[in-house]
Amino acid sequence: MKLGRELEDLTVSFLVLTLLFADFDIGTIPYVVPAVLTAFVFHELAHRFVARSYGYRAFYRRWDTGILLALGLGVATKLLTGTTWIFAALGAVQIHAPYAIDEREAFGKIALAGPAVNIAVGAAAMLLSRMTPAFSSIWYVPWLTARINLWLAFFNLLPFPPLDGSKVARWNTGIWAVAIGVAYLLYRFM
């Protein structure tokens, strides 16, 4: 996999998610960019980094059908309800593992890496938003970054295939329960 293709796939997915999370409002995009960058790009790169630490080939690949579904659903719900519903399955890190010593553990840790990054970024952004004057334009960036990161962490940890939570729960239900519980509680405290 060439770096140029991976960068293109990440960029296309990032731009689509940015547009969706901005609710198709151009004025909101500058506030949404840091949130989507950390919530989506950092999440996918964390999966890739951990997979590569196991010696696997790993790269992000966009899913064009998912991108079209996301845009279609986003536009339709914006027109019908006035708000954008987000379908966030725009691609994934594809892993080529020619060998696997303990597949459950390796793939469980790889799956956990993305939501763990979202939880860490979300918690840090939540703290930063609490140290910033509420409802100011400066406050909105860390608040939105925390909200999107924590929502994506919780959503991705749901234990249904192909979400990350299904792989984490298959590997270790205790770690999965703690991770989804932390993501949920932090999101609720927003």
- Torsion angle of alpha carbons 142, 183, 159, 107, nearest 10°? 80
For tokens 């989506």, the residue is: 40
Adjacent-strand bridge partners of 91:
62
145 and 21 Cβ atoms separated by less than 8 Å:
no
Give the SS3 label for residue 55: coil
From 105, 95, 190, select the one nearest 150 (Cα to Cα): 190
Q: What is the DSSP letter of 101?
A: S
60 and 9 Cβ atoms separated by less than 8 Å:
yes
Give the SS3 label for residue 83: coil
Q: What is the DSSP letter of 27?
A: G
- Per annotation, catalytic residue among 6, 8, 44, 103: 44
Type of residue at 21: F
Q: Is 44 a catalytic residue?
A: yes
Q: Which residues are catalytic?
A: 44
